[in-house]
Amino acid sequence: MIKGFSKLSQKEKIDVLLEEFKLPQSFKDTLEHHQHSELQEIYNQFSENTLSNFYMPYGVAPGFVINGKEYAIPMTIEESSVVAAASKAAKFWSNRGGFQTKVISTLKVGQLFFTTDFGYIKLLEELTDIKEHLLSSITEISHSMEQRGGGIHTMKLNQEPLVDKETYCLMVSFETVDSMGANFINSCLEKMGEALCNYLKSKGAEAEVNMAILSNYTPDCIVECTLSCAIEDLKAYSGDYTPDEFAQRFKKAVLLAQHNSSRAVTHNKGIMNGIDAVVLATGNDFRAIEAGVHAYAAQSGQYSSLTKVKLTENEFKYTLTIPLALGTVGGLTKLHPLAGLSLRLLGNPSATELMQIIAAAGMANNFSAIAALVTSGIQKGHMKMHLSNILSTFNATSEEIGMAIDHFGTHVISHSAVKSYLELLRNNE
């Protein structure tokens, strides 16, 4: 058992691991190779026991037109074809009105769980006074946020009868403007918890705070993104089908995702390919986004598609509605050099503008994925992009890469097929 690991220097941590687990020198060499010669001290601050950096591709999908404004969207992702799919969709829709987006609401939620013998009826009777007392307790914390237009919006008392008869939850909604707001919300809730216990004890009741923390379920922090065009314009994506046939096949794919949960998970994952990539690139919390999005997709009691399609005689209309709790100040958004660069590339957007940009990225990837699924199939484009990765694993030369690309233009791509093809080339040299 390694003891005192966190107190060791970065170099000492690596050496201890080599010795303890009998690792080869190449382990140390690889870690040191991926350390940044100038910025490593900054990266070390982002997490604990940092040994090195795990690099991810940082790409850009240009040509997005969102509400009439053009963007080149930064994307951090390792999955083949995501950036290409987003770029292709962006180019197609840029000549057809682009991505039309709107923010429906921006409220985030915090939860103050507490236990008391004061009684539910008495709590309701005292609720107005309790709210005033709690608000006054956080004046110092909330002053700066309120000056920027944020602060506490509402408070609601809920019982937790499935836990026990004396446990309650005070649901507090917050406006956090351009910050994601986690630290602000948690600080407010903890201070409010102290004030609540003191208030109830002054009334002769026993009271205890169980937990005080934000919720990553944000059904009131919603953005909507819509694509629409004449059905005949879909010919660019329809492949061997007519535009009308393509539109009907597309609609059926979305309906299946609305009513079949297993399909819905993969359908929504296609949306998150684009969303997570931009969330990462801008220094936001993709885990929080993922948790909130999937909870929202299951709010009816059945996990379902986040998108809806509507066809009229002549028009195709596709809409995504999704919760996105984001920030453009605080956290890594300015500390991480590439996160700051991403925001500058996007024109230093507000949090609400960033919500719309990221929703458009998700919509672009989903549209491209569904279009491929209902025509040529998802693997054709995906494996074409994946071919370069496979060739790299076999240390293919530039000449071999060129020959392989030509060969697999008309042959099925797989790891074993590429291996066999390269072996054939090399045996014939």
Active site residues: 79, 269, 285, 382
CA–CA gap between residue 218 and residue 173 (Å, rounded): 10
Sheet with 315-323: list strands edge to edge: 100-106, 221-230, 315-323, 307-311
CA–CA gap between residue 411 and residue 394 (Å, rounded): 19
Q: What is the CA radius of gyration of the chain?
A: 26
Supply angle C-alpha 340, 47, 346, rounded to 5. Answer: 15
Beta strands 108-116 and 167-175: pairing type? antiparallel
Beta strand residue intervals within 312-429, DSSP E: 315-323
Supply angle C-alpha 407, 83, 90, rounded to 5. Answer: 110
DSSP state of 99: B
Tokens at 382, concatenated: 């995906």
Of 194, 196, 170, the residue nearest 109 (C-alpha): 170
Q: Residue 13's CB: how many other CB atoms inside 10 A?
A: 18
CA–CA gap between residue 401 and residue 84 (Å, rounded): 20
CA–CA gap between residue 322 and residue 388 (Å, rounded): 34
User: Is the dihedral angle over the CA atoms 104, 175, 289, 275 positive or is it negative?
Assistant: positive
Residues 6+ apart with CB under 8 A from 12: none
